[in-house]
């Protein structure tokens, strides 16, 4: 199997399509007809590649790697906050997908199946350590843009307040502590929802649970973060 490397011209993955839909789709973030057609076409292409790979065509699996390579690495980096750990999960995820591709039954999209592998590997990693990025106040969203955690938690302070930037490093330890207060599953659901832009139903499928359970987990995670960060929201 070819080593999973970042392609120079990646195919648009479903997380990016989902994000684009939120800006260009109909009200409520619904996909346009063109985006729905593109998603259906991508799934058809994925299924064809999977069937070829299941017949032993190595180049077909390499094509799937190129298609989802960046999205897998980005998801692992969001969830783990450590580049080396993310690279390890990224590599292991494709190795695992290659070994178990024969078990793929086309009951869900390859994207959902692969993200489930990545998520489970990240959960295992999170259970083994408690470290977090140096500045957990800022994360990177699916498009590569910075996202402020405090803003994501409905911080009502003025965005133009210059003290906010000066206080960022001091907030870091408290925010890290707040994130560490979440269980691995709570943090996973929170990040998949807010940083990957995935629907709760999809998150539930990835974690082998129901949409309602994923919703309840997200609620608990958000409540914990707000409670732990309450005194910082002045």
Contact 71, 90 (CB under 8 A): no
Report which of 46, 89, 39 is spatially closest to residue 64, judged by C-alpha positions. 46
Scored b (16 or more CB within 10 A) or e, 40-54 reads eebbeebeebbebbe
User: pLDDT digit of tens for each residue in the chain (234 aa)?
Assistant: 544 443 333 333 333 433 433 333 433 456 688 888 888 889 999 999 999 999 999 999 999 999 999 999 988 888 887 888 899 999 999 999 999 999 999 988 898 899 889 998 988 888 776 544 444 444 444 454 555 554 554 444 445 555 555 566 666 777 777 877 888 889 889 888 887 778 898 888 888 889 999 999 999 999 998 888 876 654
What are the structural domains, with CATH classification, of the chain?
14-128 (1.10.1740.10), 138-232 (1.10.10.10)
Q: What is the pTM of this model?
A: 0.61
Phi, psi of 30 (to 5 degrees): -75, 150
Question: Residue 114 contacts by C-beta under 8 Å, 6 or more apart in sequence?
Answer: 68, 72, 93, 97
């Amino acid at each position: 199997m070819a080593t999973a490397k970042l392609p120079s011209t990646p195919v648009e993955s479903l997380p990016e399509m989902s994000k684009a839909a939120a800006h260009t789709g109909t009200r409520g973030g619904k996909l346009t007809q063109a985006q729905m057609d593109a998603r259906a076409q991508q799934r058809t292409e994925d299924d064809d590649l999977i069937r070829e790979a299941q017949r032993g065509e190595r180049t077909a699996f390499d094509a799937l790697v190129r298609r989802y390579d960046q999205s897998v690495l980005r998801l692992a980096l969001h969830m783990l906050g450590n580049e080396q750990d993310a690279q390890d999960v990224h590599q292991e995820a494709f190795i695992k997908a290659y070994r178990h591709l024969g078990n793929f039954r086309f009951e869900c999209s390859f994207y959902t199946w692969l993200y489930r592998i990545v998520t489970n590997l990240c959960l295992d990693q999170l259970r083994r350590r408690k470290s977090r990025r140096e500045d957990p106040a800022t994360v990177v969203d699916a498009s590569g843009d910075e996202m402020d955690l405090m803003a994501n938690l409905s911080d009502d302070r003025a965005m133009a307040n210059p003290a906010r930037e000066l206080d960022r490093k001091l907030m870091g330890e408290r925010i890290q502590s707040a994130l560490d207060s979440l269980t691995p599953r709570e943090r996973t659901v929170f990040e998949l929802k807010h940083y990957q832009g995935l629907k709760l139903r999809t998150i539930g499928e990835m974690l082998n649970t129901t949409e309602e359970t994923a919703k309840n987990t997200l609620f608990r995670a958000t409540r914990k973060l707000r409670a732990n960060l309450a005194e910082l929201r002045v």
